[in-house]
Amino acid sequence: MKKTDSAPETLAVIDFEKRLWCEGKPVTPPADWKFLPSGDAALTRRVKLAGPHWVVNSSFRNKLRAIGLWAPADIIAAEKTKRQQELATPEYQKRLQASRRQRDKKQSRYADEFRAAVIAFLDFAPKWAAMAERLADAVTEHAIPVGSGTVARTERISIEERAEAAVIAWMRHQTSNYDNMAVARISGERRRVRHDINLESRLILKEYRRGWDVDQHSCPLAKALRNLDREKDSRQQPADQTGQTDQTGQTDQTDQTT
């Protein structure tokens, strides 16, 4: 495909052989073009406005997503230089810090709202209120970080539906053997397995909602929360304890090997 004076934006999909395709035909970028990966939205936007370009999409989970664009190398270089100069200015740094503070506030508000929605969905009996608090903390910590890709980040469903889906997903991975389960490669089989595990998770939640006397030694949910507590405790232990002398003045044996 030859470059023209008014080359339009062309969508190209990368196939499994890493070849570019457009409208069912393989295409090759002009020799003086260069690939700009996605990552800096402002830079990508400026390169698009500066001249001809091809947006490159890749198929992921049966959906197309932009992974970058091809454009003249001189345009990319010029816009990169302008962008780097802008990033170095004090004015930009001030705007960046203000934007981060605003984003952190918004994230904090969402975390509180999402956690409240999780508590409302759990609806545990008063005797299990502490268990609900621990579970809500665990689900929120896992689900709400920006870029986590979890259902809690979508805006296509209500926050109540997000909270419910996040709890069930967390329990599927933490209270069952789902992650290590060998699922037959049969159409619909993984969906069936997930459905069965989700039903088991809901039955566990039902026991806490009704205020039943749940055996904390055998309950999968109680076990998962205990494991999570142990993991947190191990991460919080000071890293500099290795090699410290004990009360007898002898060096820890773990530090004697060189």
- The CATH number assigned to the domain holding 14 equals 3.30.70
Q: Would you state the pLDDT for residue 253? A: 42
Q: Are residues 120 and 191 in the same domain?
A: yes
Q: What is the dihedral of CA 17, 22, 26, 32, to 10 degrees?
A: -100
Q: Are residues 118 and 75 in the same domain?
A: no
Q: Would you state the pLDDT for residue 17? A: 61
Mean pLDDT of the chain: 84
Average pLDDT value for residue range 153-159: 88
Burial 155-186 (b: 16+ CB within 10 A, else e): eeeebeebbbbbbbbbbbebbbebeeeeeeee
Average pLDDT value for residue range 138-152: 85
The count of domains in the chain is 2
Give 97-124 pLDDT, tens digit per residue. 999 999 899 999 999 999 999 999 999 9
Q: Is residue 212 scored above 90 in pLDDT?
A: yes
d(CA 39, CA 51): 19
Q: Are residues 123 and 59 in the same domain?
A: no
pTM over 0.75: no
Average pLDDT value for residue range 163-190: 90
In a domain, 101, yes or no: no
Percent pLDDT > 70 in the chain is 84
Which domain range does residue 68 map to? 10-87
In a domain, 2, yes or no: no
Of 33, 56, 87, the residue at which a domain comes to its end is: 87
Q: Would you state the pLDDT for residue 113? A: 95
In a domain, 202, yes or no: yes
